[in-house]
Amino acid sequence: MTLEAPIVLAPFANERIREWPIENFQAFIECGLQDGRNFVISGTRPQRVRANVICRSFPAHRVQNICGTTTWSEMQSFLHDAPFVVANNSGMAHLAASRDLWVLCVFGGAHSYREWFPRGRRVVTLARRPICAPCANNICHNNYDCMANLSAEFAYNEIICAISDSKKSGS
């Protein structure tokens, strides 16, 4: 029996205001671990310390921090083999979508998801457009509520259901 490739998490963006909170990524991982899935966390070398915070409470063989340790071609291989990718509104979400991979992309109020969502037929976009959006000067005066209140359990179920429905319909 071969193990399924790990889910790729890209929890960072080039602006904090576009990031789903670390606690939400941790809760998402918990959902996946209960389903027997494994994860890799991708990012740059400077993001490695923040990724360690995500990994800290999980078994190292189930959740790996590969931030800053892979070449671009190795990262593309991780993407290609992954059952899906979870990312914020970031380059990784757009790259995965452009390669026709399953992507769960999380948006808050900083940017319009209608304008900026990754284009692809296998993209699931979760967005909260609060009344305070768009964020002025990339500053949130509401404690990132639009991102924090996007439930990890809901997000996990949305991507799993989308993939399952796709398999049932043969697309």
**pLDDT digit string (tens) for 98-157?**
899 999 999 875 555 555 566 688 998 887 665 565 666 666 555 566 667 789 999 999
pLDDT of residue 129: 63
Residue 1 has pLDDT above 50, yes or no: no
pLDDT at position 155 is 93
Give domain limits for the chain.
7-169
Query: In a 3-state reduction of DSSP, which class is residue 107?
Result: strand
Q: Is the pLDDT of residue 48 over 80?
A: yes
Q: Which of 16-20, 131-135, 162-166 has the highest mean pLDDT?
A: 162-166
**What is the per-residue pLDDT for 2?**
43
* CATH class of the domain at 7-169: alpha beta
Q: What is the pLDDT of residue 169?
A: 74
Tokens describing residue 84: 């899906």
What pLDDT does 40 receive?
A: 95
Reported in sequence order, the residue ranges of the chain that DSSP labels E, i.e. its strands, are 7-10, 39-41, 63-65, 85-88, 103-107, 123-127
Q: Which residues, other chains included, contact 36 with Cβ-Cβ below 8 Å and sequence gap of 6+? A: none
Cβ pair 97, 123 in contact under 8 A? yes
Cα gap 86→155, rounded to integer Å: 9
